[in-house]
């Protein structure tokens, strides 16, 4: 397989992230690759194959492997033994493992293949080619695959990969934080829809300012803060040392958990 020429993509496990990858591959009307989907996740697989040209549902997981050059495994961790039981992966394939908590050594034992195995953390925003995908190890075909889908960040070892996995684990807390702010406003008698609208607007602004990479995150915070003002007050009274330490401890514990890979 030549670098950057992957044309046949197989996906075993067509749930949320499998769907996001298919949408990313077809983003902007791109039809440069053929996509082969596993039959499980039947409703999503059928919907994708109806919506997009060149996306087909296979009879079983072995057919997905046989038809693809690059195989993405996107089932839940607890389902991967069943999904891969008896599946033969020839050494000339490239396998991308997006399952959280399943290391490359464990996957190689399950698959008994000499094919290159690459771990990746695709994010839901990959569907619009708007997120950077962390990969380990760097591999030319996989790097150029994710580069095309929004950007790639290869890391040097699996320990570094686990650090990025832990960071990824903070994502839904962020939404819950915003929901908590909205609930607090509603408790003060503000209409929920007004609070919701305002919070979305406030934090969409944060999202936009993050794309300004000329300013560090500390600089962005400083630039949005009036000395002795309201933002400084909340930052120093709520996100104090104890709160910051609690977050650090939660991340440390998650990292320890992630380092005990299957």
Ligand X SMILES: NC(=O)C1=CN([C@@H]2O[C@H](COP(=O)(O)OP(=O)(O)OC[C@H]3O[C@@H](n4cnc5c(N)ncnc54)[C@H](OP(=O)(O)O)[C@@H]3O)[C@@H](O)[C@H]2O)C=CC1
Among 74, 117, 149, 195, binds ligand X (CB under 6 A): 74
From 35-43, 131-139, 211-219, 228-236, span contacting ligand X (CB under 6 A): 35-43
Position 38 contacts ligand X (CB under 6 A): yes
Distance CA 67, CA 1 (A): 14
Q: Which CA distances in Å does 213 have to 52, 154, 200, 209? A: 35, 19, 22, 9
If one asks whether residue 261 binds ligand X (CB under 6 A), the answer comes out as: no
Among 46, 100, 167, 190, binds ligand X (CB under 6 A): 100
The angle formed by the CA atoms of residues 173, 178 and 184, to the nearest 5 degrees, is 120
Name which of 33 and 97 has its Cβ closer to ligand X: 97
In the window 115-154, what residues touch ligand X (CB under 6 A)?
121-122, 124
Q: Is 61 annotated as a binding residue?
A: yes
Query: Does 250 interact with ligand X (rule: CB under 6 A)?
Result: no
Contact 196, 182 (CB under 8 A): yes
Q: How far apart are CA 177 and CA 200, in angstroms?
A: 12
Residue 102, token pair as written in the block: 């399943």
Q: Minimal distance in Å, beta carbon 197 to ligand X?
A: 26
Q: Does 224 bind ligand X (CB under 6 A)?
A: no
What are the Cα distances from residue 10, in Å, to 37, 108, 132, 241?
6, 18, 21, 47
* Helix, strand or coil, per DSSP, at residue 105: helix
258 binds ligand X (CB under 6 A): no
Q: Does 254 bind ligand X (CB under 6 A)?
A: no
Q: Is 25 in the site for ligand X (CB under 6 A)?
A: no
- CA dihedral over 85, 166, 258, 117, signed as positive or negative: positive
Site membership for ligand X, residue 98 (CB under 6 A): yes
- State the nearest-atom distance from the C-beta of 102 to ligand X, in Å: 7
If binding is defined by CB under 6 A, does position 12 make contact with ligand X?
Answer: yes
Nearest to ligand X of 96, 195 (CB atom): 96
| b (16+ CB within 10 A) / e for 154-177 | bbeebeebbbbbbeebeeeeeeee
CB of 59 to ligand X, least distance (A): 12
Nearest approach, Cβ of residue 196 and ligand X (Å): 23
Tokens matching residue 130: 């708007």
Q: Which residues bind ligand X (CB under 6 A)?
A: 12-18, 38, 40-41, 61, 74-77, 79, 82-83, 98-100, 121-122, 124
Annotated binding site: which residue ranges?
A: 61
Binding-site residues from annotation for NADPH:
61
């Amino acid at each position: 397989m030549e670098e950057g020429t992957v044309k046949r993509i197989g996906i075993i496990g067509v749930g949320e992230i499998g769907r996001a990858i298919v949408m990313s591959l077809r983003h902007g009307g791109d039809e440069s690759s053929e996509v082969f989907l596993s039959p499980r996740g039947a409703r999503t697989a059928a919907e994708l194959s109806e919506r997009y040209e060149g996306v087909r549902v296979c009879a079983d997981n072995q057919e997905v492997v046989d038809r693809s050059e690059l195989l993405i495994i996107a089932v839940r961790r607890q389902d991967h033994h069943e999904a891969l039981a008896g599946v033969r992966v020839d050494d000339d394939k490239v396998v991308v493992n997006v399952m959280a908590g399943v290391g490359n050594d464990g996957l190689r034992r399950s698959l008994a293949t000499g094919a290159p195995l690459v771990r990746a953390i695709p994010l839901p925003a990959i569907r619009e080619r708007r997120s950077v995908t962390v990969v380990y190890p760097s591999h030319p075909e996989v790097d150029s695959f994710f580069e095309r889908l929004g950007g790639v960040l290869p890391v040097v070892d699996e320990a570094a990969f686990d650090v990025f996995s832990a960071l990824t684990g903070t994502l839904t807390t962020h939404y819950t934080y915003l929901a908590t702010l909205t609930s607090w406003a509603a408790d003060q008698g503000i209409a929920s829809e007004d609070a919701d609208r305002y919070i979305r607007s406030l934090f969409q602004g944060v999202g936009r300012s993050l794309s300004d990479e000329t300013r560090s995150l500390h600089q962005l915070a400083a630039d949005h803060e009036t000395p002795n003002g309201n933002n400084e007050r909340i930052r120093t009274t709520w996100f104090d040392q104890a709160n910051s330490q609690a977050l650090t401890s939660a991340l440390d514990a998650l990292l320890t958990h992630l380092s005990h890979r299957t």
